[in-house]
Chain A
Amino acid sequence: MDEPKKWHHGYELSKATELASGTLYPILMRLSDRGFLDHKWVETPEAGRPARHVYRLTAKGVAYANEQFDLCDEAGASASGTVSRA
């Protein structure tokens, strides 16, 4: 989300999200199905290694993620408000 235009490969996303590949890829598939994720193949400079599939959120995906973050922030603010009022 810090660099929404940057492409990331699967292992990088797995490390960043701390999700195992068996959890991450079904999510990537669903996000792609819903138009939230772009993906493409890129050649790798390492000789003898296959091209890698890379991913980034689409504009729709970024908007949706921001919407979700806002909802989380609101929920967090109202929860802390409740606590402070109590």
Chain B
Amino acid sequence: MRLAAILLSLADWLMPANRKEWLAAMRAEAAHLSAGAALSWAIGCVVSAFKERIMLRTGTLSVSRWIFAFEMLCFVPITIGWWDALAGDSGVILLNGDVISRYFLVNAHSKFILAMMIAGAVIGVVGPIGLLLAGRFILTGHGLQSRTAGIAMIFALLLVGAAWILARLVWGQGAYAASFTSLLLLVFLPAAVIWHLMALARPAAGATQGGAMASR
């Protein structure tokens, strides 16, 4: 119950002021539940409060298709990076066993760089996929329906960002070490636009929620 109480306090902190009555309703409901049910209920309170906080900041997240064209540009740097990692002067398709063993299996740092080159060629495909998805939204108004695909792409980008930060901490500045610009252009902005595309795929509020609530 203590953990549930902590989570409810967190939810209280997150919930916007105009929704406090709803949080009070959720808190009151938790007081009527068993310890196990109250804990999962409290997690839901945090999720609800977080959603409301996000909605408060972003409104409906809807945006004109043509204004979205500017957001689409966020996929350009990662697409260029992906192409470079794949087929550039030092792209992975030019690597062979001799080059790998001579230059990339020397020490931990060189192995890390090899891993990042491969990751860039694989995970960087988020760039062209993002361009296609953004282009589709502009032409048809359809967002990213698959939450699994969206979350996987965001997770992959954040994983790469985490590896770059780790490299910066371990080896200092150098290849694939995180910098503000690289994290912004190649991780956070593409991840944010993917998240936006997922949000744009949600049906308009009220169009389906009435049906979800009312079962007969």
> A residues engaging B (CB < 8 A)?
1-2, 9-11, 13, 16-17, 19-31, 34, 36-37, 39, 44, 46, 49-53, 57, 61-62, 64-65, 68-69, 72
CB contacts (< 8 Å) of A52 on chain B: these are 25, 28-29, 32
Q: Are B45's CB and A21's CB within 8 A? A: yes
Closest chain-A Cβ to B70's Cβ sits at a distance in Å of: 29
Interface contact B25-A69, CB-CB below 8 Å? no
Which listed residue, A26, A44, A46, A53, touches B51 by the CB 8 Å rule? A26
Q: Mark interface residues in B197-216 (1 if CB within 8 Å of A CB, else 0).
A: 00000000110111111111
**Can you identify 9 A-B contacts, CB atoms within 8 angstroms?**
A1-B215, A17-B212, A23-B44, A27-B213, A28-B22, A31-B209, A36-B206, A65-B211, A65-B214
| Contact assessment for B45 and A30 in the assembled complex, using a CB-CB cutoff below 8 Å | no
Known: A2-B216, A25-B48, A49-B32. A10 touches B25 (CB 8 A): yes
Q: Does B40 contact A (CB under 8 A)?
A: yes
Of the candidates A11, A16, A22, the one whose C-beta lies within 8 Å of that of B32 is: A11
Which residues between 16 and 35 of chain B lie within 8 Å of chain A, taking CB atoms? 19, 21-22, 24-29, 31-33
**Residue contact B44 to A22, C-beta cutoff 8 Å:** yes
* CB within 8 Å for A49 and B31 given contacts A25-B26, A25-B44: yes
For the complex with contacts A11-B29, A30-B205, 7 further pairs of A-B residues with Cβ separation under 8 Å are A13-B213, A25-B25, A34-B206, A57-B214, A61-B210, A68-B208, A69-B216
A interface footprint on B28-59 (CB within 8 Å = 1, 0 otherwise): 11011100010011011111100110000000
Q: In the complex, which residues 34-88 of chain B have their Cβ closer than 8 Å to any Cβ of chain A?
A: 37, 40-41, 43-48, 51-52
| With A10-B25, A25-B22, A29-B22 as contacts: A20 and B40 at CB distance below 8 Å | yes
A61 to B19, alpha carbons, bound, how many Å?
A: 21
- Cα separation A20 to B48 with both chains bound (whole Å): 10
Check B41 against A11 for contact (C-beta < 8 Å).
yes
Min CB distance A42 to B, Å, is: 10
Whether the pair B25, A26 counts as a contact (CB closer than 8 A) is no
Contact B29 A9 (CB under 8 A): yes
What residues of chain B lie closer than 8 Å to A39, measured between beta carbons?
A: 25
Closest approach, in angstroms, between the C-beta of A86 and any C-beta of chain B?
A: 26
**Out of B31, B209, B212, B215, which one reaches A50, CB within 8 Å?**
B31
User: Across the interface, which residues of B come within 8 angstroms of A62, CB to CB?
Assistant: 214
5 closest A-B pairs by beta carbon, nearest first, are A21-B44, A22-B47, A53-B25, A22-B44, A65-B214
Question: Which A residues touch B45, using CB under 8 A?
Answer: 21-22, 25
Residue of A nearest to B24 (CB): A53
**A20-B44, A26-B48 known; A1 vs B26 contact (CB < 8 Å):** no
With A17-B212, A34-B206, A65-B214 as contacts: A29 and B52 at CB distance below 8 Å: yes
Give, as a whole number of angstroms, the nearest-CB distance from B122 to chain A: 33
